[in-house]
Amino acid sequence: MPYIDVMLVLLIIFMATAPLITHGVKVDLPKMEESDLVDTKDTPPIIASIDADGRYYVSVGTDPEEPMEALDVAAVIKLQLMKNPDVPVMIKGSGKVSYQEVLLLMDFLKRAGVPSVGLMTESFEGTK
């Protein structure tokens, strides 16, 4: 009997956490000691990614990502914001990509009418 209880609890945990897992492009994010957290429980963010080779991607929920031009990224995000203007927009730029590439994407998003953009980072290991 106790094994059934344990299995039931594990099943519930996996069922509750499975929708929270986000898929995307593998990017080495820049590291920071501390940053403000954005609450994305209600609405998963639109994530514009830039990989180490300078390729651009857009992730909306669980949609598959394919490389595209920066102008196309801005157009896709603008269309998504027309459907749901309250969804947060985040940039997930690789730590190996040049600062200029991130600024270029931010400029395209601003010109497309995106009201605000967040930057994704990772914490240094060992800090909270």
pLDDT digits (tens, 9 = 90+) for 67-122: 888 888 888 888 988 998 888 898 888 888 888 888 888 888 888 888 888 888 77
Tell whether the model's pLDDT for residue 126 goes beyond 80: no
Residue 128: what pLDDT? 43
Residue 26: band (very low, low, confident or very high) from pLDDT cuts 50, 70, 90:
low
Q: Which residue has the higher pLDDT, 11 or 121?
A: 11
CA dihedral 62, 66, 71, 76 (to 10 degrees): -30
- Name the residue ranges covered by the structural domains of the chain: 23-123
Q: Which fold has domain 23-123?
A: Nucleotidyltransferase; domain 5 (3.30.420)
How deeply is 99 buried, as exposed, middle or buried, from its count of CB atoms within 10 A (0-12, 13-18, 19+)?
exposed
Tell whether the model's pLDDT for residue 127 goes beyond 50: no
Please state, in angstroms and rounded to a whole number, the distance separating the CA atoms of residues 124 and 128.
8
* Number of residues in the chain: 128
H/E/C letters for each residue in 66-115?
CCECHHHHHHHHHHHHHHCCCCCEEEEECCCCCHHHHHHHHHHHHHCCCC
Q: Which residue has the higher pLDDT, 125 or 10?
A: 10
Residue 47 pairs in a beta bridge with 59, 90
Tell whether the model's pLDDT for residue 58 goes beyond 80: yes
Tell whether the model's pLDDT for residue 20 goes beyond 60: yes
For the sheet containing 46-50, what is the strand order? 56-60, 46-50, 89-93, 118-119
